[in-house]
Amino acid sequence: MSSGLTAVKGIKVGVASNPEAATGVTVILAEDGMRAAVEVRGSAPGTRETDLLKPGQLVSEIQALVLAGGSAFGLDAASGVVRYLEEQNCGFAVAPYCVPIVSSAVLFDLFIGDGAIRPDAEMGYQACLAAGNGPVPEGSVGAGTGATVGKLYGTAGAIKTGQGSAVRRKGDLIVAALVVVNAFGDIYNTDGTLLAGPRNPQSGRMEKTIELMLDQEAQGFPGNTTLGVVATNANFEGAALEKICRMGHDGLARSIWPVHTMWDGDTIFAVSKGAIAADLNLVSLMAAEAVAEAVRRSAHTAKSLGGVPALSDLHIK
């Protein structure tokens, strides 16, 4: 049974992972096109082909979204996705050519694994070959392979996270989210308790970043960013999808704190693939709920990697 983004008919998800290097690529495909928007709230983003997603541009649909590790180097993965789509003759028609429209965002994962190995065009191409409409891969896979959170003490004190997925339904209406969590801040449970935060170098116990920053004047740590995609089968475009992006960021704020810092490049995409008439407020609220759940699942489904422990190995549920 489909889960997450693939619950929306016409959307496929594929991953390519390199556990040894602790990096990877996640691709969201809709070869025949999907309407899309984006909003960046973090102050250290790495993106490609996002200006096309603003309302009023010539191109109204894209064929793929690419999320990748590797910091700015990882933007190269989108080139492999473009190559794959060109081979399928998918894209925006320009005279005799068909130009694939592929938007991308990256996160920083160079501090664990082998930072000299980054996602490239071949890895992006392989993620396309792996794409399908089955259950969305979760945990330390794809763009989430090298993801971590709670980095106030640096990577050595972090908690391993990865890629999480969630879906909300109301009748025929579907709103789903995929989130790759590589935040400077911490992840919180629905009741406000700490789920994943920095581990004290002496005690090994998890602490709250906000308390450390307020009480000890602790400084930030570079190399973060949370990336997300919200998908719905409701019929929206342009400004409406931008609103869904904003509410998706509210989902981040409900589950990650601190969020949208100077050390993060937090980016949320929203895509519409369907013709169902739906209330924008309802879809936006469902988006925030799905994003928050996907964030928490990124911690619960992750596996330890590169010396960074996951919750499952710390015996924390």
pLDDT tens per residue across all 317 residues of the chain: 347 999 999 999 999 999 999 999 999 999 999 999 999 999 999 999 999 999 889 998 999 999 999 999 999 999 999 999 999 999 999 989 999 999 999 999 999 999 999 999 999 999 999 999 999 999 999 999 999 999 999 999 999 999 999 999 999 999 999 999 999 999 999 999 999 999 999 999 999 999 999 987 777 889 999 999 999 999 999 999 999 999 999 999 999 999 999 999 999 999 999 999 999 999 999 999 999 999 999 999 999 999 999 999 886 54
pLDDT score for 3: 78
What are the distances in angstroms from CA 50 to CA 47, 75, 161, 260, 275?
7, 12, 26, 18, 24
pTM of structure: 0.96
CATH of 4-135+144-313, one of 3.40.190.10, 3.40.50.300, 3.60.70.12, 3.20.20.70: 3.60.70.12
**For residue 34, which of 212, 194, 232 has the smallest C-alpha distance?**
232
Q: What are the domain boundaries of the chain?
A: 4-135+144-313
Handedness of CA 200, 190, 213, 144 (dihedral sign): positive
CB atoms within 10 A of CB 302: 31
pLDDT score for 1: 36
pLDDT score for 216: 76
Q: Provide CB contacts within 8 A for 315, sequence distance 6+.
A: none
Rg (CA), the chain: 18
What are the distances in angstroms from CA 195 to CA 147, 231, 259, 287?
16, 26, 15, 21
